[in-house]
A and B are shown apart, each in its own frame.
Chain A
Amino acid sequence: MTTSAETVIAPARTRTATATATATVRRNQGFQHGGWFVAPFLALFALFVVWPLLRGVYLSLTDANISGDGANFIGLDNYREALHDRAMWDALGHSAYFTLLVVPCITVLAFLLAMLAHHIERGKWLWRLCFFAPFLLPSTVAGNMWQWLFTQGIGLFNETFGLTTPWLTDKSYAMLAIVIETLWWTVGFSFLLYLAALQGIPDHLYEAAKLDGANAWHRTVHITLPMLRHITGLVIALQALASLQLFDQAVVMMDFGPGPELSTRSFVQYTLEQGFTSYRVGYASAMSVIFFVIIAAVALARMALLRNREEGTR
């Protein structure tokens, strides 16, 4: 790579000095102009992302409260306390449990819906709209709707399926209720990714397979699924990261509480409670940093896994 590039550049050096100078000036000017164009974004990014991040790390080393004054530097005490806080690990367990339930369900469901919408001939737009539309709802709307649907005694869900399940008030069902709501609400996004990928698979592959006598099942298993492998990896990764950050739909459905016997209190919610109910901003910041590390670890693990697999297939 380097050698060929140098051979291309070498003749250029023999050109006149003025031309090189103009090019440099132009490049500098280009950078300056570009810099100014990016500046508003950079300023906002620094103000609303970088600064709060740094400030959060600093606060995690203090005993700051919500009023913002009188904070003392206390070193790693908050982290020490957090690592021994059973409620925090329970909350992390709830977030992880939710993720384990949601990710496989949503991946399979999104794929099936995409296949349906892709192969159905009549009213294609209607199917796409139906599957995708819930994703456009704000979490509060979706959460409230499902809270009503699940209400014991008068809810449509139990009524329709002839059940008497206490979805929102029993700890064995509360998380399942949130999983069902989340599937309905967010499957549209993964569905769209799959649908786009399905449309990108070249027809001639299927034609060739047909000529070779492959039936629909074989075509799905041996052509469609392998061709969708990358998108499946993406769907799983995005869903896992989003699910670990479970918060809004759960608190809306549980009336801002932690659910029956704390069963739906997610990590994010517990952090919020510590910061804004117990007013322990320093402690909440420490937990946020811990959570950041966990999320980053998951993201990095996914990248490492992907790289290994790509190298394996080469």
Chain B
Amino acid sequence: MGRPDLNRRHLLATAGGLAVAGSLAFAALGTGADALASGADTRVRYWNLFSGGDGANMIAMLDAFRKEHPGIDVKDSTLQWGNPFYTKLAMAAAGNHAPELGVMHMGRVAGFSPGRLLDPWDEDLLAKYGVRKADYNPALWNRGVIDGKLYALPLDVHVQLCFYRKDVLKKADLLGDDGRMIQVTSTDDWFDVLKKAKTVQKKGLQTIGLWTNDQNFQWWFFVAFYTQLGGTWFDDGDTEVLFDVDKATQVLEFFRKHVTDGYVIPGAPTGEQFINGAPFTWEGNWSVPVFSGAKLDYGATPLPPVFGKQATHAESHSFVLPHQAGRGGATNETAHELAAYVVTHAVQWAAGGHIPAYTPTLSTAAYKKLTPQNEYVSAMYHQATEPKVWFAGSTGVLAQDLGPLVVSSTMGSAKPAAVARTMKNHLTRLLASKNPMDGRTAAQGGAAA
């Protein structure tokens, strides 16, 4: 009776063993086949977070690169925008499975443990492929420099804009001779403009879209106007909070007034309302393809300088080299080549509304022809950015912490002055907190160097 039992067991064991061995063999074949398919090519894996119109533009640029460089195999992966992307990139870099090339928001670089999760760019290699510091706005370039090394190569600047409908503003006599919106230099001017626009606009729509319920947009707008007032965040050594509660209150009251004066319908979808005839909306420049696609007669300026000084919120998409233990050689050089190619061929990218960071692009005839891009290109030189500390950056800890506070003031759940004080308390706590990646505070981190 024992024999057949044993045989069956042997059979099972053998079958199991074969299955395991077989799958391993197939796996090996798989990688082999992959390698064979690309021949002697150099493979660059590239992770980005671009979907929608941006995604299509990026893929078009990659395809152009592939056509010109048949020997290079670009393997691009598009991942979900925002925190899921950064989590994946961090874990891949920590586990030594990082791609050769990645995209990040500039503001996130300081908190992304440059040196450990990110490798620095070789500026000589970049120069070989045509990208030099001299081709950039120095302030922008320096945002990517940490401890004297370049960790983020800027691709673009993306800014918050005031979109306006020319057809509506014309009726209210709010367009200048050049066909663009008249200049606004104070909050009184601004509310005057809104009042006039409201009298001629389609009924049932809001006058302006402010993303009153969105913690990201409200935070970005806050950074813009707080910077217009000359507000600062921390001292140079990141040891002291210089946040000005009075200035912050002024900004928060300005936002709130849009709601209390009835220019905003809280929660209304801003883009749709604009397309349907609402005179204004404040939006990221990435909405340009959406509004152009809807064939609207519209313009876009940087957020109005209602506090006297030009400044609009700006972030940058930048290329980074996620940390690889064995970075170097041909794949690393190819990563430099690809990034340099995309940066220097960014007219296509500008069609998505972004301002190319590589300044020679801005003076090309092709770029100058783009509307409304040519109307807000000046925003490149009036950037309001978050402080350069580890907890800042697009959808970072700072934005997640303070964004909801701004919303609570704009929506009327809390008084502006009280919210401004709470913001200062939060900033104090954040400044004292340690970066979990290296256990150092912003003052000890030296990331602002």
Contacts and interface: CB of A to CB of B under 8 A. Distances in A.
Contacts of B269: 151-154
B289 interface: no
A58 interface: no
Contacts of B52: none
B439 A72 contact: yes
Interface residues on B, range: 20 to 34
A262 B422 CA distance: 15
Nearest to B86: A277
Contact of A279 (B82, B272, B273, B436): B436
Interface in A280-308: 280-283
Contacts of A153: 268-269, 272-273
A17 B95 CA distance: 62
A166 B267 CA distance: 6
Interface string B113-149: 1001100000000000000000000000000000000
Given A151-B269, A153-B268, A170-B267, A278 B436 contact: yes
**Dominant SS among interface residues on chain A:** loop
A154 B266 CA distance: 15
Nearest to A282: B436
Contacts of A280: 436
B266 A170 contact: yes
Interface string A234-268: 00000000000000000000001110111000000
B215 interface: yes
A63 interface: yes
B436 A65 contact: yes
B439 A170 contact: no
Interface residues on A, range: 20 to 34
Interface stretch (B167-175, B237-245, B406-414): B406-414
Given A153-B268, A256-B82, A256-B83, A67 B408 contact: no
A68 interface: yes
A171 interface: yes
A150 B411 CA distance: 20
Interface string A196-209: 00000000000000
Interface in A147-203: 151-154, 166, 168-171
A44 B67 CA distance: 48
A31 interface: no
Contacts of B407: 260-261
Nearest to B113: A67
A132 B266 CA distance: 36
A277 B437 contact: no
B56 interface: no
A72 to B, nearest CB: 7
B439 A70 contact: yes
Nearest to A74: B439
A256 B80 CA distance: 11
Interface string B211-222: 001010000000
Contacts of A151: 269
Interface string B389-426: 00000000100100010011001010000000000000
B91 interface: yes
Nearest to A174: B213
Query: Which of A63, A152, A169 is the most central at the interface, judged by chain B CB atoms within 10 Å of its CB?
Result: A169
A278 B116 contact: no
Contacts of B266: 166, 169-170
B84 interface: yes
A277 B397 contact: yes
Contact of A67 (B397, B411, B434, B437): B437
A276 interface: yes
B213 A260 contact: yes
A68 B94 contact: yes
29 contacts: A63-B436, A66-B87, A66-B90, A66-B91, A66-B437, A67-B91, A67-B437, A72-B439, A151-B269, A152-B267, A152-B269, A166-B213, A166-B267, A169-B266, A170-B213, A170-B411, A171-B411, A171-B413, A256-B82, A256-B83, A256-B84, A257-B215, A258-B400, A261-B404, A277-B83, A277-B87, A278-B397, A279-B437, A280-B436
Enumerate the 5 nearest inter-chain pairs by beta-carbon distance, A residue then B residue, closest first: A166-B267, A67-B94, A169-B267, A169-B213, A65-B436
Interface of B: 82-84, 86-87, 90-91, 93-95, 113, 116-117, 213, 215, 266-269, 272-273, 397, 400, 404, 407-408, 411, 413, 434, 436-439
Given A66-B91, A67-B113, A277-B87, 8 more contacts: A65-B436, A66-B90, A66-B437, A69-B94, A152-B267, A153-B272, A153-B273, A261-B404
Interface of A: 63, 65-70, 72, 151-154, 166, 168-171, 256-258, 260-262, 273, 276-283
